[in-house]
Amino acid sequence: MTSSDPQDTAANLHFTGTTPYEDYVRASELSSLQEPLSEDPGEMAFLVTTQVMELWFRVIVHEWETAARALREDDLPVAMAALKRSTYELQSLNASWEPLAHLTPAQFNAFRSALGDASGFQSAMHRRLEFLLGDKSAAMLVPHQGAPQIHAELEKALYAPSLYDEVLRHLARRGHEIPVTVLGRDVSERYAADPAVEAVWERIYAGDQGSEECRLGEALTEVAELVWRWRNDHLVATRRAMGAKVGTGGSPGVAWLEKRATKHVFPELWTARSRV
């Protein structure tokens, strides 16, 4: 990062084509992707904010895939670094709600019809993020049947171990008593809490607080808390903008978001705390 004033630097100001910054960031391409469908000036903020969220989904998926791959190789430093980066990115993702969090029903209704049947639950990148968290559902591939490449990417993610699956396999290789039924479970199914896994985390948290396993647990807990905050902020913003009405695309809207906000990812990391 350097000064934005070229007079303060010895920056080169002469280029034969577009600037190297443009070539790398493709800023003009990004700025051409906003095409509001209504005359309401508030739609631009909604559209840009949603696109920014998609970009954050993309980088967080990259971080968690990096962490999962590192855990498969028992490379804990690389996994921990990726998890740490993702917490900063999750904080930025959650802050993205701010431009939308105070929409009144009248303000949202001014451009809501432009969305048509579009709904956030149709986001393929967010679905990949949820799959990495262990919230798997083959039914969520159905909306993407008309887009073969996206469908194939989601199907691959569905049948790949989640981040938490890789965590538990890593713990098992380190000698922790993860049940065979958990290690050999159908990873295309939603992860369900297991008392024996809870007992493993209980022992880890009751032991050396500086151990690698304890630090891994805390990194995952930080991720889980920020995911919960994302879900809760989504719920509050939606409730303020549209109350209990049916969501766009026929989704249940607030009722569905309320259920999501009560669920924690990496569940045994939370329940084990009551037993330490």
Q: What's the start-to-end Cα distance of the chain, in Å?
A: 46
φ/ψ of residue 73, rounded to 5 = -95, 10
pTM over 0.85: yes
Dihedral angle of Cα 160, 165, 171, 174, to the nearest 10 degrees: -20
Structural domains present in the chain: 40-275 (1.20.58.480)
pLDDT digits over 219-259, tens only?
Answer: 999 999 999 999 999 999 988 888 877 766 666 678 878 88
Burial 115-131 (b: 16+ CB within 10 A, else e): beeeebbebbbbbbbbb
Backbone CA torsion sign across 204, 205, 206, 209: positive
Q: How far apart are CA 238 and CA 253, in angstroms?
A: 8
**pLDDT exceeds 70 at position 66:** yes
Q: How far apart are CA 184 and CA 196, in angstroms?
A: 14
Q: Is 112 annotated as a binding residue?
A: yes
**Average pLDDT of the chain?**
93
Q: Is 2 annotated as a binding residue?
A: no
Query: Token pair for residue 174?
Result: 């380190």
Q: Is 234 annotated as a binding residue?
A: yes
Q: How far apart are CA 224 and CA 231, in angstroms?
A: 11
- The identity of residue 47, as a single letter, is L
What does 114-164 look like in DSSP terms, one character per residue? GGTT--GGG-HHHHHHHHHTT---GGGGGGGTT-HHHHHHHHHHHTSPPHH
pLDDT digits over 8-23, tens only?
Answer: 666 788 899 999 999 9
